[in-house]
Structures are given as structure tokens and as C-alpha cells.
Amino acid sequence: MSKALDLYAVAGNPVDHSLSPRIHALFAEATGQAMEYTRLPVPHGQFDVTVGAFFEAGGCGLNITLPCKQDAYRWVTPARCDAAAARAQAVNTIVRHGDDYLGYNTDGVGLVRDLEHLGVTLSGSRILLLGAGGAVQGVLPALIGKTPASIAIANRTAAKAADCVRRFGQSGVPLRVEDAATTTATFDLVINGTSAGLTGSGLDVADGVLREAVCYDMMYGPKAVFVTRARSVSRYGAFDGLGMLIEQAAEAFRLWRGVHPDTRQVRTLLGAQVERGR
């Protein structure tokens, strides 16, 4: 009898349109890894039982997507998380070692690698982050690690931006709260980490800010309404988060399989923007 393939999945709700199965199938093919990757829908309030059953059945690892990243952090337990996941209190990748489960957050690495692909220089740059929720907290440590000149955080609820500044501010990189609608500051890079595209409403950010910056939307597809606006305003270009999705997946794949896939072919196949050589 042939041995079942190592099984992985993306867990969240919804997951029916997730690109992750396609991305990991392409990685597996390119690297010659024998594995299977499926979707694991998590009914509301059923994270522990759903994920427990997946691993009980022999599952080897999971990607975690919205709205389950905090559940995954709790499930793995903070002591079994890497530094990025612990700081963000959010896990997007679970790696199984026998009966031991480790939690990682590869979103920050994914964002930084995509920006590098796009030719965006982070070191010494002035960054404006829109949003202060889980998505922004997940990528802040990796952005700080690239030693930008400053990071300003603008959020609809200013108190949450202030909380981020307090939590992540002891890093040597100046962090501050900003009002994106009225600011007169200039930024090199504006990153949308809000879920405004999901709720269908626009973001309160001045056109002048977007005009003078490279703009990046952590969303992709129809939800990426910020990038549509930024493309018509920015003098330096605007990009959606498809490349980030691919790069965070590549890092998860490396953690599971010990081999880092070449992302270029997948980027081309899925239509992610290629290097611009700024």
C-alpha cells in the first residue's frame, strides 16, 4: 500500500477562493516535494476542534488566514511561537514536529521580500502605515528590522495607532501617530494595512501623500480598492499584495519542507508585478 502524501492546508473563513493551494502546488512541483495542500474551512468559534481534527488525521502543517490568526496564536501557545508571531500575537503558519506544534508569522518577511522584488528601498525611508490592526502588527517587526528612517502609523481609531507606537516603539526606529488626512509630511512609502477594502468604504488619506510615495496595498484582487486609487495618483507606482501572499507562502513552505522555492515563476503565473528597478 502506498504511503499517504504529507498533508497541508489553509485554515480560515472563508477559504474557498484562497490562492494558497495553487501557490503551494506550484512550489511543490518546482521543488519535487511530494505533498498535498487543501482548504480547511473553520466554522465560527470552531478553531480548536477543526484544527485538532486536522492534525489528529495526520496533517503536517497549516497556513492560517483571517479571522483565525489570533486563535492560532492561542492554540499553539505563546511559548511555542517565533519572535514575529509573539510580537504580533498572531500566527499565520503552524509547523508540526511530531506532537509539537510551532507557530510562526511569515507575513512580515513576505511583505519585505515583495517590496525588495519591486525595487523599493526600506532602509532610511519614511514609511506611512495605514491601519493598526492585526495585519499591521504582523508586519511591523519585519519593517522595523529594515531600519527605515521613521514609521508613522495612521488609523481611523487613533488610540489603536498610539497603542502600536507604545508596543513597537522601543526599537531604535522612530515611530509616531499620524493623521493621514491632514498631514503635511512627505513619505517615501505608504502601505495600506487596513481592511477598508473589505468593508467597501474609502480611506481618509490625502492625495498629496499618495502622490509623492510608492504605494502598496496588503490586499489583492477585488478587495484592493486602495491600490486602484493610488495607481491613479502616485507618481512612483502602486502595487497590490499578491506578491506578499506569494512570498509569505514561500517562507511557510521553507519552514515545512526545508527548501525555499524560487518565487519568480509563480509571480509570473499569478500575475504579480515584476521588478521595476527603481
- Does 157 help bind ligand ATR (rule: CB under 6 A)? yes
Q: In the bound complex, what is the minimum distance in angstroms from residue 270's beta carbon to ligand ATR?
A: 21
Which 3 state secondary structure label does DSSP give 27? helix
Using the rule CB under 6 A, give the single segment among 8-16, 149-157, 219-227, 228-236 that binds ligand ATR: 149-157
- Does 199 help bind ligand ATR (rule: CB under 6 A)? yes
- Does 201 help bind ligand ATR (rule: CB under 6 A)? yes
- Of the candidate residues 7, 26, 191, 203, the single one contacting ligand ATR (CB under 6 A): 203
C-alpha cell at 92: 499565520
- Of the candidate residues 106, 155, 234, 263, the single one contacting ligand ATR (CB under 6 A): 155
C-alpha cell at 106: 511569515
C-alpha cell at 250: 514561500
Nearer to ligand ATR, 157 or 228 (CB): 157
Q: In the bound complex, what is the minimum distance in angstroms from residue 201's beta carbon to ligand ATR?
A: 4
Residues labelled catalytic: 69
Q: Enter the DSSP assignment of 26.
A: H
| Count of residues touching ligand ATR (by CB under 6 A) | 15
Q: In the bound complex, what is the minimum distance in angstroms from residue 128's beta carbon to ligand ATR?
A: 13
- Of the candidate residues 160, 231, 254, 264, the single one contacting ligand ATR (CB under 6 A): 160
Q: In the bound complex, what is the minimum distance in angstroms from residue 30's beta carbon to ligand ATR?
A: 30
Strand partners, 39: 10
Q: How many CA atoms lie within 13 A of 16 on its CB side?
A: 2
**39 close to 18: Cβ distance less than 8 angstroms:** yes
**152 close to 206: Cβ distance less than 8 angstroms:** no
Q: How many CA atoms lie within 13 A of 43 on its CB side?
A: 3
- Does 182 help bind ligand ATR (rule: CB under 6 A)? no
Measured CA to CA in angstroms, residue 93 lies from 64, 76, 188, 253 at distances of 6, 10, 31, 9
Q: Determine the residue type at 258.
A: G
Q: Please give the residue ranges that form the binding site for ligand ATR (CB under 6 A).
A: 131-135, 155-157, 160, 194-196, 199, 201, 203
